[in-house]
Amino acid sequence: MISAIIGSVIAGLIIGAVARLILPGKQDISILMTIVIGVVSSLIVGIIFGAAFKHGHPWISWIIAVIVAAGAIVLYGNMTGRRQVRR
């Protein structure tokens, strides 16, 4: 159980970081919120992808999770008024 939680946090950190890297400009959100968005995106995509494809490739779910996390970061920025800073 504890290893699953630690794995989810590490996956969320990686997915959130990659999602922030592919977005243009600087996102004005904290590292903690990046991890939370990454973990939630990973879990949502994992549940949906796992239910739809029993024997899918895990790297496809990671790519989809990064895309979902990038969208969630933009959505979070729009909802909180913290928009991307273009430099």
- Could you report the per-residue pLDDT of 25-58, keeping only the tens digit for each? 777 888 888 888 988 988 888 788 877 877 767 7
Residue 85 lies in a domain: no
Residue 83 has pLDDT above 70, yes or no: no
Note whether residue 62 is domain-resident.
yes
Prediction pTM value: 0.79
Instruction: Specify if 2 maps to a domain.
Output: no
Residue 22 in domain:
yes
> In the beta sheet, which residues pair with residue 75?
none
Number of domains in the chain: 1
68 and 12 in contact (C-beta within 8 Å)?
no
Residue 33: other Cβ atoms inside 10 A:
17
In a domain, 42, yes or no: yes
Whole-number percent of the chain with pLDDT over 90: 15
Does residue 1 belong to any structural domain of this protein?
no
82 — pLDDT class (breaks 50, 70, 90):
low
